[in-house]
Amino acid sequence: MSQSSWLPISPSSHFSLANIPFGIISTSSGPTHRPAVAIGDHALDLRAFATADGFSANPSIQNHAGVFSSTTLNAFASLGRPFHREVRAYLQSIFAADTPHPSILKDNTSLRQSALLPLSEVTNHLPLSIGDYTDFYAGKHHAYNVGVLFRGPANALQPNYTHLPVAYHGRASSVVVSGTPIHRPWGQILPDPKAEPKIPALSRCKRLDIELELGMFVARENELGKPIPVDQAEDYIFGYVLLNDWSARDIQAWEYVPLGPFTAKNLGTSISPWVVLADALEGCKTAGIENETELLPYLKEKTRENLLSIDLEVDIITPKGNKTTFTKTNSRNLLWSWPQMIAHHTITGCNLRTGDLLGSGTISGAEPGSEGSMLEQTQGGKGTIKLEGGEERKFIEDGDTLVIRGRAGEEGALIGFGEVSGTIQAALPLF
């Protein structure tokens, strides 16, 4: 779709009329958190819009307009995909150049002034209250690359890897919105990993890294004990964000056997603020990494076009101001789809709830320059990443800002995520 809007929207905007992503905002004059959509370089304050009868031309939305006075998107998400679809289509019709309802916003100067806010004047917050966060490991190139570094090529991919979407439960409390600074963590590391016996030290993390991931928010709950069939799993998806799973590699290497990563990952996980609805990305499906393993029936999908195709890139901005895009890849580089992850997550009966966040796992391409972590790109710190201005990095240094961007679609009708950004600050003095 490349429909035009009466609102000027740059063709390069991530937030075209084809997108309509949802978030939670506040402003300096209105500190209460409230829902909004992003369009061009504006946010439409949905609380203000709903309160001024903006949804009056659609009674079925109007009946539920109370969800737009909530401080999170959970109530909206829980109403389900047909409702999300209807709201998105309605808002597209409101912003369309040939809107059938010009009196609602286009010709309503007062509501435009009160509800249509420059993005530069809004503060974003976590879009949903997150009950549980699960991080998958569906990026096969990443899993292989990291497996080689942690366990050698022979054991890089475990025997279960192609049979089930490997995952671990993550930490919901430390999921933060883009822009939140993260302090370099302290933690237990092995100063000399090869020495025997192994004697750890408490140290500032020396191998702090990013993980380029997509995040998915759950719309609906299932009952405890009742797995979600893979063919129904799409109904449980609210939408997607970019996700940076900050990872302390030296802490992770020491702690993760046998129960998985813990303090290496719970220091913070950053997400982009605007949730791109599942419906907005319906046209962006493609085939992912081929899985030659015969799957068990509960993981078999009817289509091979089961993955989102979103172009992704990562910038690093150093304290000297040098900005370098050091990774470009695409979200098709996954072995497992979101419906497969949902089906597996619930196969033993686990109940998902509205607002749960699932991470895809790190997305790396097969070629150099497409790796979703610095660990991979520097082969465990043996190499370096060459940056603009003659700088280089093995891992993140204090003051570095990492930015992930993602977009699908064509100029003029981009379905973009904006970005998730975070600056690593020096470690705080301990106690």
Q: Which does 313 bind (CB under 5 to 8 A by kind): Mg ion, a second copy, Ca ion, none?
A: none
Q: Which does 349 bind (CB under 5 to 8 A by kind): Mg ion, Ca ion, a second copy, none?
A: a second copy
Smallest separation, CB 181 to a second copy (Å): 9
Residue 362 known to bind ligand = yes
Residue 297 makes contact with a second copy by CB under 8 A: yes
Residue 259 makes contact with a second copy by CB under 8 A: yes
Residue 377 known to bind ligand = no
Q: Which range binds a second copy by CB under 8 A, 85-93, 194-202, 270-278, 400-408?
A: 194-202
* CA 237 to centroid of chain Cα atoms: 13
**What is d(CA 335, CA 333) in angstroms, rounded to the nearest whole number?**
7
- Assess whether 345 carries a catalytic annotation: no
**What is d(CA 103, CA 379) in angstroms, rounded to the nearest whole number?**
59
Residue 163 makes contact with a second copy by CB under 8 A: yes
* Residue numbers 303-342 binding Mg ion by CB under 5 A: none
Number of residue whose CB is nearest Ca ion: 245
Per-residue binding string, a second copy, 380-419, x by CB under 8 A, is ----------------------------------------
Is residue 39 within 8 Å of residue 14, measured between CB atoms? no
List 330's β-bridge partners, or say none.
311
Residue 345 makes contact with a second copy by CB under 8 A: yes
Residue 151 known to bind ligand = yes
Smallest separation, CB 203 to a second copy (Å): 10
Per-residue binding string, Mg ion, 237-276, x by CB under 5 A, is --------x-------------------x---x-------
Considering the candidates 42, 142, 344, 345, report the single residue annotated as catalytic.
142
Smallest separation, CB 268 to Mg ion (Å): 6
List 132's β-bridge partners, or say none.
none
List 240's β-bridge partners, or say none.
216, 276
Q: Which does 269 bind (CB under 5 to 8 A by kind): Mg ion, Ca ion, a second copy, none?
A: Mg ion
Residue 191 makes contact with a second copy by CB under 8 A: no
Q: Which range binds a second copy by CB under 8 A, 21-29, 115-123, 126-134, 324-332?
A: 126-134
Q: Tell me, by CB under 5 A, how many residues bind Ca ion.
A: 3
Residue 265 known to bind ligand = yes
Q: Which range binds Ca ion by CB under 5 A, 120-128, 203-211, 271-279, 318-326?
A: 203-211
| CA geometry: angle 280, 93, 50, nearest 5 deg | 95
Residue 256 known to bind ligand = yes
Q: Which does 160 bind (CB under 5 to 8 A by kind): Mg ion, a second copy, Ca ion, none?
A: a second copy
Q: Which does 211 bind (CB under 5 to 8 A by kind): a second copy, Ca ion, Mg ion, none?
A: Ca ion
**What is d(CA 423, CA 367) in angstroms, rounded to the nearest whole number?**
27
Residue 225 makes contact with a second copy by CB under 8 A: yes
Residue 245 makes contact with Ca ion by CB under 5 A: yes
Smallest separation, CB 413 to a second copy (Å): 37
In the set 45, 132, 209, 211, which binds Ca ion (CB under 5 A)? 211
Furthest CA-CA distance within the chain = 76
> Could you tell me which residues are annotated as the binding site for Mg(2+)?
245, 265, 269
Residues that bind Mg ion (CB under 5 A): 245, 265, 269
> Could you tell me which residues are annotated as the binding site?
135, 137, 151, 211, 213, 245, 252, 256, 265, 269, 362
Positions annotated as catalytic residues are 142
Residues that bind Ca ion (CB under 5 A): 135, 211, 245
